[in-house]
Amino acid sequence: MPRRRTSGTWSATGLVTALLLTAAFPARAQPAQVNTIADVFERMRTCWRPPIRANPEIDITVIVSFKRNGDILGNPRITYESERASDDDRVMYRVAVMEALQRCTPMPFTDSMAGAIAGRPFSFQFHNRKSPQQPTEKRAWLTPKIL
């Protein structure tokens, strides 16, 4: 049976598409296996994307338990929301928290971590505060004296 000849434009188109998708969805540095409690919190932090138009000083806390396979056990429970949040802000933050949980689960636990973590509650605090920028100070008064 004769082999079909493929044109070079198909492979070039595929390459361009792959490059565009790579630029549109950059890879995140997440641990391949979650082996410590610190890894759990780090992975959740990388999945968190605060709402764009919400009040930036709102905190929300959710309690979540995981199964051995990394799925969520039961329903996540919101235990705290900032009192200064409006109803619209609360809805936006609740949606953002649920999206973060969907992005992060199932968590790829190691066998030993899966056995230790199964069914235990985790309290995750989500906030949108940006650290204040340190002012750049001119230190003309600290110039060395020449004696």
Q: Are 129 and 82 in contact (CB under 8 A)?
A: no
pLDDT of residue 143 exceeding 90: no
pTM: 0.64
User: What mean pLDDT is reported for the chain?
Assistant: 76
Residue 24 has a pLDDT of 41
pLDDT for residue 58 = 86
pLDDT band at 62 (very low <50, low <70, confident <90, very high): very high
Is the pLDDT at 71 greater than 50? The verdict is yes
Mean pLDDT of 67-76: 94
Distance (Å, whole) CA 46 – CA 101:
11
DSSP letter string over 16-80?
Answer: HHHHHHHHHSPPP---SSB-SHHHHHHHHHHH----SSS-TT-EEEEEEEE-TTSPEEEEEEEEE
What is the share, in percent, of the chain residues with pLDDT greater than 90? Answer: 50
The domain 29-129 having CATH identifier 3.30.1150: the answer here is yes
Asked which of 12-16, 65-69, 99-103 is least confident by mean pLDDT, the reply is 12-16
Task: List C-alpha distances in Å: 93 to 46, 83, 96, 122.
Answer: 16, 13, 5, 18
Give the residue, 77 or 135, on which the prediction is more confident: 77
Q: What is the pLDDT of residues 7-55, one digit of tens each?
A: 444 443 333 333 333 334 444 455 478 999 999 999 999 999 988 877 7
Q: How confident is the model at residue 57 (pLDDT cuts 50, 70, 90)?
A: confident
Residue 7, pLDDT score: 43
Q: Which residue has the higher pLDDT, 17 or 4?
A: 4
Domain boundaries, given as residue ranges, for the chain: 29-129
